[in-house]
Structure 1
Amino acid sequence: MPHARPLAFALAACLAVGLPLDAGAQRRAARAPAGPTECTDFYAFVNKDWLTANMVIGSGSVSAMGELQALALQQQRDLLDAAMRAPQNHVQQLLGDFWASGLDEAAVEADGAQPIAPLLARIDGIRRARDIPPAIAALHQVGIPVAFNFNADVDLADLSRHIGYFGQGGLGLPDPAYYTREDADTRAILDRYRDYVRSILALAGTAEKSLDADTAAVIELETAIARNWRAITLARDPRSNYAPVPTADFDAQYKRLQLDEFLATLGIESDTVSMANPELFAALDGLVGSVKPAQWKAYLRFHVGNAMAPYLSRTFREAEFEFHGRVLRGQPEPLPRQAQVLNAINKAAGPMLGREYVARHLPDGTRMRATTIATEVRDALLRGVERSAWMSEPTKAEARAKLAAMRIEIGAPERDLDYSVQPMGRGSFGGNMLIASTWRHREEMRRIGEQNADQRWEVLPQQPALAYDLAQNRLIVSAAVLQPPVLDMSQDAAAHYGSYGALVGHELGRSIDIRGRVVDAAGNVRTWWSETDQAAWNDLTNRLAGQYSGYAWPAGTALMVDGTRTRDENAADLAGIELAWDALQTANPELPKESAQSFFRAWAQLWRQQMSADAANLLAATSEHAPGQWRANGPLANLPAFASTFGCKAGAPMQRDEDEQVRIWR
């Protein structure tokens, strides 16, 4: 199935609304009176009714951002229901049939393993070593990467284009250490995995008498592959994954693995690809020649069954969930059927659904409002650079150039997709999954060698997301994020700046802050800050870290916020509210007091959240974000405009002394 491109995600400082933000609850400041006020705990004062109505009983969390995510999912389900009943165009016909086939559980059960039968027959046709690589390539074509990964991703030498990346893959477990460590916990997981491999092989048609031998064959081959992986931590670094090599000699270098034929099968004509771990591919080349075809066949059969199990009959799904869901992810129960089918459609046909979602849920007026505010916030950032006391003059010049070149993209990307797809029909959900996955893989491969990096996003329009794309120097605002609480067109116009505008500022600041400093205005990957700039930034953000380290986590955890781990996100929050306030005041020089109050209320409403103690404990130990109370209150306590708007006196919890205040762009 299509898989993530870690390089592209690493190059996007992305605020994916609804996921890392979905936690938090009310806690009153130490000096608060009987009830919170604007000047003691603004977050609790503004969100009092919501917090009371959304107490968490048991385990879990709720948040305003989580509510937005739930709304976007419901909108997608409604769209698919309509496409299923009365499609209005070719893409809706495809989506409606895909949706209907997934919801028809009786048909899915009757279909059994039939969707993967052609793939298994292809594997059964392997007779000699030279038959193995074409089978590997055929599975990659349908979105089932085996033996290794091959993706389209941005070229670090030219961020406007894509090249192909040969990467590590081919394992059924998420870390190569699972195959080699000897501790009891790891051995226990490997034993569970062995049982899972056996189950999938049996469901895929392996004879009972061959199950034990074929299971052992799969584990043995995966272990051989795992021994040639580099450490996971190293593989996550985009720079360590970038190693351009010519393809001209592939026929000689990887003769048995047939990488030249692999590229030809996928339609890749580029003379250069990236291969950061050539030792792995040399080992795979050797394994093609040294491992018997029968062992490769067992390995390939398992990986077809493993990849497709979530989309087949109940016995496949239950086996897959028991291992991947319960053992690896710790999920107590599988998602409801509708959610499973929607996830599958987004995975294999997400851009199709995105096209229809934008047409249905992004009015022109909302798009224009979002574009106007984002442009005004960018202009505010330019003013912030000019008055910055911590940036040196050469760094300011580069920041100005980068902001001048920045693009703002609202709603959806300018896609260059070909929507010609084999008709799906409603009889086979698994078959439709393969059709859609093959289409999406084909379109991904077409990116390679083209100057088209600016025509794609790494998020889907139907997913609530607001992001700064570092590789393309652009702000990305998805259609799904442009609704309450981020952009509520029914609210006071000033509130739009306090919610949406502040999130825009959060992301635009990343273009020239500690993250944005690694790509310059021309798109070159280099650090353009001076050591003096770095030291000044560290001084600012270390002071901010000290402030947040004095804040307590909610839900009775008795834990304090880790100001160091959350430092960069806290700085981005402060930058966002500074820039949005500047943009609002510039657009409305005679701003009424009521509008100023609406601005700050909208900011506080973004971060309302409740959580159980166990959820708070987990986030306190892992999250790069502070809890909602302090995402709301922390920046405001550093902003004099807040205190003047609500008449907060010096010494109030929401008004830091002037010498304590941290400023980034004001």
Structure 2
Amino acid sequence: MVRSARIVVICALSVFGVPAFAQDSGRQGVQLGDIDRTADPCNDFFQYANGKWREENPIPASMSRWSRRWQAGESSKDRLRTILEATALTKAPRGSIEQLTGDFYAGCMNETQIDRLGVEPLRPLLTDIRQMKSPQDVQKMIVRLNGMAISAPFAFYSSPDNHDPSFVIAQVIASGLGMPDRDYYVKPDERFIQAREKYQAYVARLFELAGSTKAEAQAATKAVVRMETELARQSLDNVALRDPQATDHKMSIAQLQRLTPRFDWNAYYTASGLTTGDVNVAEPKFMEEVDRQLGAASPDDWKAYLTFHVLDSAAPSLSKPFVEEHFGFHSAYLRGAKEMKPRWKRCVESTDEQLGEALGKIYVEKYFPPEAKARMQELVKNLRLAMKETIEELDWMSAPTKQKALEKLSTFNPKLGYPDKWKDYSTVPVKRDAFWGSTVAARAFNVKDDLTQINKPVDRGRWYMSPPTSDAYYNPPLNEIVFPAGILQPPAFSVDAIDAVNYGAIGVVIGHEISHGFDDQGSQYDAQGRLRNWWTAEDLKKFEARGACVVKQFDNYFVEPGLHHNGQLVLGESIGDLAGAKIAYRAFKISQRGKPAPASVDGFTQDQQFFIAWGQFRGDAVRPEFARTMVQGDPHPIGKYRVIGPLSNLPEFQRAFSCKASSPMVRPPQERCEVW
């Protein structure tokens, strides 16, 4: 769930799905060469759909998972590289998007200078941390670091008010842990014990690279781990964090001040250039622990803690030894990557991360044609209609709840490709000879750009993914679904693909995002985006029972012996996949109403093309290390179970491939899950 978002005003979609294209003649079907024809689709559809592609395309050394989808995302960076290499050679006016992106990229690519400087770009900041003497100094440094997007020990940003999403308030959330989540600090499992050992070695190494002796580094590491462990003990786990009620604690500044009496919030607001107002505190117990640490931890402990988080945050922007250490823990150990991505690709990613809409504006002008947006609008229209028909036909939901569900569906706002209004980065002082300085400047701009939304009416035109991003999201308070241009390419989407393929790939993604409005989290928000129950008590019980079926199904999916998915953690994403596949299939049938289409394409029926397209889009090979990390904290299941999980519940899939009732890809009727 994205932390905040907006709704561009778009007219409600027609109840009629009028096809934009009369036929699929001459368009492309699924990738035939990817299919493993030695596999039985009714036994293991994941292997069947693109097992041959995975066999012939092993995971690249720099990646943690791989499929045509991830390959497409990496290929987008080739396009971005072309853009950035051109802007880097352009003598553009200062403040223009060409100057900003070109100089930022050129500064990142100046590896010789970055390596020569080592830790020196951080020296003034590290010196200021070292000179802290009092809790007040610590608080001032926390404000300063937050302004540089270094969120330790908490993060502070803008978010629509859960109870009045037309207005933006401040949000305070737990942060400042160097490992992925609380379990890494407190659980006794061998894998967590090993992670703690690896982490301590990483922390100590960063201190040594910054100039500490081994003894000093060891002492600082102990302080960092002790403080983070205490903070972790008071943090919610990943399952609890999925419940919006558990993180809904709106309060006044006076109440927040009473919660954390040692922290001067008026000073924080003043230093951040903000006027005080209401704030949501996601984890009050965590903030109480932060307050306790302000009194209990020594200045030296705080110096070590904040110094480490500066080093960890800055490491990818510093000299090669820092980059390698950061990669070794975060990418190699936790994700299983075998080598770093090439420098140019990391610089492309950094530019996109910091100046995303500047780079994105050039990207969409070159690579996102108007016809792509038009066809996506057609897909969204039919997905909306399919969800409407599905809700209307539910036999387990009462009329009052149906009315509320349909009202919510009618207020959905789709955003496609890119924002209508682009951010103005012209004041960001980007320089070619100061990469860390440019990074800090861009970060500071982005932080300020976010904070300026606090205590104002929500700006529904804002985006929280850059246009080149190969992903999508749903935002509950603003009830919007967002699809950046970066995901609107094969294998997800193509203007040259037959309808069956587009509906089976991006169509399921669209359905997935729509379904998030009705999953275990999104279902708690009403049509206006308020965190408010709109269900009858009986309907809510039935809905939760249907979700429990999905939980049980995914609890039994193992990534290795003894380690299985947490069904409760992946419930929302799994409901999204299940409902997404179902309503995308229905939308595909809507698109064929009154439109003749060939019975088969390349030897596969239209229905088979639809399901194979989903298998090929989601057919990720995943490294074991990353699978373990995902199972621990990612609300998304690994690719294999995102393919076989939802499809094994669909009678439409069983019919498409003539699967016997006893087939592994067909769940018995008494075990079949259906939420929407």
TM over 0.5: yes
Deviations 1:200-227 (A, max 9, x none): 3344345x4xx63575256336635643
Q: Which residue of 2 aligns with 1:269?
A: 275
Q: Which amino acid aligns with 1:482?
A: L
Pair 1:87–1:652, CA change in 2 (3 A)? farther
Question: 1:349 touches 1:437 (CA, 8 Å); kept in 2?
Answer: no
Question: 1:577 touches 1:635 (CA, 8 Å); kept in 2?
Answer: no
Q: Which residue of 1 aligns with 2:89?
A: 85
Q: What is the alpha-carbon distance in structure 1 between the residues aligned to residue 218 and residue 659 of structure 2?
A: 71
Out of 364, 378, 386, the position equivalent to 1:380 is 386
3-state DSSP class of the match of 1:461? coil
Please, what is the CA RMSD of the aligned residues? 4.7
Q: Which residue of 2 aligns with 1:212?
A: 215
Out of 120, 129, 140, the position equivalent to 2:146 is 140
Pair 1:226–1:54, CA change in 2 (3 A)? closer
Q: Provide the TM-score with structure 2 as the length reference.
A: 0.77
1:182-261 aligned within 5 A:
193-206=199-212, 208=213, 212-213=215-216, 216=219, 219-220=222-223, 223-224=226-227, 226-227=229-230, 230-233=234-237, 234=240, 237-248=243-254, 257-261=263-267
Q: What is the alpha-carbon distance in structure 1 between the residues aligned to residue 650 and residue 613 of structure 2?
A: 13
More divergent stretch after superposition (314-323 vs 515-524): 314-323
Would you say 1:154 and 2:160 are equivalent positions?
yes
1:586-605 aligned within 5 A:
586-594=590-598, 597-598=605-606, 600-605=608-613
Task: Give 1:143 shift.
Answer: 1.8
1:18-29 aligned within 5 A:
none
Q: What is the alpha-carbon distance in structure 2 between the residues aligned to residue 261 and residue 461 of structure 1?
A: 36
Question: 2:504 touches 2:611 (CA, 8 Å); kept in 1?
Answer: yes
Q: Which residue of 1 aligns with 2:648?
A: 634
Task: Give 1:571 shift.
Answer: 5.4
Pair 1:148–1:481, CA change in 2 (3 A)? closer
Q: Which residue of 2 aligns with 1:580?
A: 584
Task: Give 1:409 shift.
Answer: 1.1
3-state DSSP class of the match of 2:156? strand
Q: Which residue of 2 aligns with 1:361?
A: 367
Q: What is the alpha-carbon distance in structure 2 between the residues aligned to residue 546 and residue 253 of structure 1?
A: 39
Q: What is the alpha-carbon distance in structure 1 between the residues aligned to residue 68 and residue 367 of structure 2?
A: 19
Pair 1:638–1:563, CA change in 2 (3 A)? farther
Deviations 1:486-528 (A, max 9, x none): 2111123454333333332233233235544211123221333
Q: Which amino acid aligns with 2:482?
A: I
Would you say 1:67 and 2:71 are equivalent positions?
yes
Q: What is the alpha-carbon distance in structure 2 between the residues aligned to residue 224 and residue 447 of structure 1?
A: 32
3-state DSSP class of the match of 1:592? coil
Q: Which amino acid aligns with 1:219?
A: K
Can you give the 5+ residue segments of structure 2 that lack an aligned partner in the other structure?
6-33
Question: 2:160 touches 2:458 (CA, 8 Å); kept in 1?
Answer: no
Would you say 1:607 and 2:615 are equivalent positions?
yes
Q: What is the alpha-carbon distance in structure 2 between the residues aligned to residue 196 and residue 654 of structure 1?
A: 44
Q: What is the alpha-carbon distance in structure 2 between the residues aligned to residue 559 and residue 194 of structure 1?
A: 25
More divergent stretch after superposition (116-125 vs 558-567): 558-567
Structure with the greater alpha carbon radius of gyration: 1
Deviations 1:52-108 (A, max 9, x none): 744779997542322232223333333322322337771232111111111221111
Question: 2:417 touches 2:467 (CA, 8 Å); kept in 1?
Answer: yes
Question: 2:49 touches 2:615 (CA, 8 Å); kept in 1?
Answer: no
Q: Which amino acid aligns with 2:115?
A: E
Pair 1:543–1:437, CA change in 2 (3 A)? closer
Pair 1:169–1:606, CA change in 2 (3 A)? closer
Task: Give 1:612 shift.
Answer: 7.9
Aligned length: 632
3-state DSSP class of the match of 2:505? helix
Q: Which residue of 2 aligns with 1:304?
A: 310
3-state DSSP class of the match of 2:433? coil
Out of 364, 370, 379, the position equivalent to 2:376 is 370
Q: Which amino acid aligns with 1:310?
A: P
Q: What is the alpha-carbon distance in structure 1 between the residues aligned to residue 416 and residue 667 of structure 2?
A: 39
Q: Which residue of 1 aligns with 2:8?
A: none
Q: Which residue of 2 aligns with 1:498?
A: 504
Pair 1:509–1:92, CA change in 2 (3 A)? same
More divergent stretch after superposition (392-401 vs 411-420): 411-420
Q: What is the alpha-carbon distance in structure 1 between the residues aligned to residue 610 and residue 142 of structure 2?
A: 53
Out of 166, 185, 210, the position equivalent to 2:172 is 166
Q: Which residue of 2 aligns with 1:13?
A: none
Q: What is the alpha-carbon distance in structure 1 between the residues aligned to residue 259 and residue 576 of structure 2?
A: 47
The percentage of aligned residue pairs carrying the same residue is 25
Q: What is the alpha-carbon distance in structure 1 between the residues aligned to residue 645 and residue 186 of structure 2?
A: 42
Can you give the 5+ residue segments of structure 1 that lack an aligned partner in the other structure?
10-24, 29-33
Q: What is the alpha-carbon distance in structure 2 between the residues aligned to residue 316 and residue 287 of structure 1?
A: 29
1:24-63 aligned within 5 A:
50=53, 53-54=56-57, 62-63=66-67
Question: 1:6 touches 1:238 (CA, 8 Å); kept in 2?
Answer: no
3-state DSSP class of the match of 1:304? helix
Would you say 1:432 and 2:438 are equivalent positions?
yes
Question: 1:633 touches 1:654 (CA, 8 Å); kept in 2?
Answer: no
Question: 1:497 touches 1:599 (CA, 8 Å); kept in 2?
Answer: no
Q: What is the alpha-carbon distance in structure 2 between the residues aligned to residue 243 and residue 617 of structure 1?
A: 33
Task: Give 1:417 shift.
Answer: 3.6
Question: 2:104 touches 2:432 (CA, 8 Å); kept in 1?
Answer: yes
Q: Which amino acid aligns with 1:131?
A: D
Q: What is the alpha-carbon distance in structure 1 between the residues aligned to residue 81 and residue 459 of structure 2?
A: 30
Task: Give 1:585 shift.
Answer: 3.9
Q: What is the alpha-carbon distance in structure 2 between the residues aligned to residue 395 and residue 285 of structure 1?
A: 43
Question: 1:248 touches 1:271 (CA, 8 Å); kept in 2?
Answer: no
Q: What is the alpha-carbon distance in structure 2 between the residues aligned to residue 574 and residue 171 of structure 1?
A: 33
3-state DSSP class of the match of 2:460? helix
Q: Which amino acid aligns with 1:223?
A: R
Q: What is the alpha-carbon distance in structure 2 between the residues aligned to residue 352 and residue 205 of structure 1?
A: 37
3-state DSSP class of the match of 1:460? coil
Question: 1:354 touches 1:460 (CA, 8 Å); kept in 2?
Answer: yes
Pair 1:283–1:44, CA change in 2 (3 A)? closer
Deviations 1:605-628 (A, max 9, x none): 332337489589869977636546
Q: Which amino acid aligns with 1:583?
A: A
Q: Which amino acid aligns with 2:273?
A: G
1:459-608 aligned within 5 A:
459-534=465-540, 536-537=542-543, 572-594=576-598, 597-598=605-606, 600-608=608-616
Question: 2:248 touches 2:281 (CA, 8 Å); kept in 1?
Answer: yes
Task: Give 1:257 shift.
Answer: 3.5
Out of 393, 397, 405, the position equivalent to 2:403 is 397
Question: 2:492 touches 2:505 (CA, 8 Å); kept in 1?
Answer: yes
Q: Which amino acid aligns with 1:76?
A: L
Q: Which amino acid aligns with 1:475?
A: I
Q: Provide the TM-score with structure 1 as the length reference.
A: 0.78
Q: What is the alpha-carbon distance in structure 2 between the residues aligned to residue 190 and residue 564 of structure 1?
A: 25
3-state DSSP class of the match of 1:520? coil
Q: What is the alpha-carbon distance in structure 2 between the residues aligned to residue 658 and residue 188 of structure 1?
A: 40
Pair 1:385–1:88, CA change in 2 (3 A)? farther
Q: What is the alpha-carbon distance in structure 2 between the residues aligned to residue 557 and residue 195 of structure 1?
A: 28
